[in-house]
Every structure is written in C-alpha cells, then in structure tokens.
Amino acid sequence: MRGHAHLISAYVAGSSWLHRTPLLLKFLLLAGTGVVVLALPGLLPRALVLAAVVVIHLAARLPAVRLLQPIRSMWLFLLVVLAYRWWADSAAGAAGVVAGLLACIYAANLLTATTEVQRLLDGLVAAVTPLRRFGADPERFALTIGLMLRSIPFLLGSLHDVRDAARARGLGASPRAVVQPVLIGAVAYARQTGDALAARGLGEKAAD
C-alpha cells in the first residue's frame, strides 16, 4: 500500500495562471463541472466539458501524464461502467457517463494540482467560518475535507497495487479479489490517518 509517491504529491509547484487564479474560482470551476455533468446527460455536452477541462489543464502547463494517471488506475472500473451503460442504455450514453466521470476527476485534479494543501485548508476554513454560530468547527471541517482530498490519490494508487498483486497470484481481474483488499486498505488508511492526527492532538473538538 506504499509508494504512491507520484500520486500522493498531488500539488505541482509552479506559478502558472491557474496557480494564481483565486481559490474560489477554481472551486466554482470544479462545482460547475459537476453541475453541468449531472444536469446535462448525453455524450455531446459532456464531451465538450471534458474537452474544456483538458484544454485548461494543458493551457496551465500541467504535465500531460497527469491526465493518464486516473485512467491507468481506474481503467478496469471505467471499463465496467462503460460495458454496463452500453448494455443498459446505448454506446453514446455509456461514453457520456465515462466522459462525465473523467471531466469531474480532471477538474478536481486542476484544483489540487495548482493549490497547496495549506491554502486549500485556509480557503475551507474561511468558507465555513460564518457557520460557526451554528456550531460548526471550521478547522475540523477543513481538516476532514483536506484529508479526504489527500486520500483519493491514495485509494487510486491502492487500486493499482491490489490489481497487480491479484494478477501476480493469477487471480486475474476478479472484482472480489480487487474490491476486498482495497476496502481493507481504505479502512486501514483511515485508521492510520486518525492515529497520526491523534498523536499530535489534531482534528479534535476545540473545547473538551
């Protein structure tokens, strides 16, 4: 479950225009992508959104390999989705679903690749602070979201590892051989992260 170095260091140091774009706009871009993908089913609009996100990615001079990474780690999943939608719906519908998924992943990638974690956390804290009088704890909220974002590349990486391990034992691509270890890995990861934070007294309620 280790050694997802290239996946975990999600932030790409740089000073591109996208790096300098205010966090709020990047958030809106991500949210907007999600909304459009959900609101407009069908291949054409989703393919357009996907194309737009890819153009932004390349225009910000982010490494093109980062576009391949999610596909490399998720191809099996994407393939299953594609096959299922094709069977249940149509080829175009299936392609639309996959295009929508990729558009959302790439849009999230744009945010994490060009925003340092600390900046992201500060942005989240600022966004949640007005809710403080309703009992929200902004620091805790930010930490949770921040760690969730961190865990996505980890989980993609572990999917990759587990598939290799299953293959090495001749288990092929049996969903059970893949899903179970990934789930166990995810639980272990969450637990380890929890312990790591507890070891520093972080992420707990402000007053106790």
Binders of another protein among residues 180 to 199 (CB under 8 A) are 192-193, 195-199
Q: Do 78 and 98 form a contact (C-beta atoms < 8 A)?
A: yes
Q: Which is nearer to another protein, 93 or 203 (CB)?
A: 203
Q: Closer CB to another protein, residue 27 or residue 77?
A: 27
Q: How far apart are the first and last CA of the chain?
A: 35
What is the per-residue binding string for another protein in 28-67, x denoting contact by CB under 8 A?
----------------------------------------
Neighbouring CB atoms inside 10 A of 96's CB total 23
User: Cβ distance 114 to 62 under 8 Å?
Assistant: yes
Alpha helices in 9-90 (DSSP H): 17-20, 23-39, 43-59, 65-88
Q: Which is nearer to another protein, 96 or 157 (CB)?
A: 157
Look-up: residue for tokens 């893949």? 178
Give contact residues for another protein (rule: CB under 8 A): 2-3, 5, 8-11, 13, 116-119, 121-122, 139, 147, 150, 192-193, 195-202, 204-205, 208
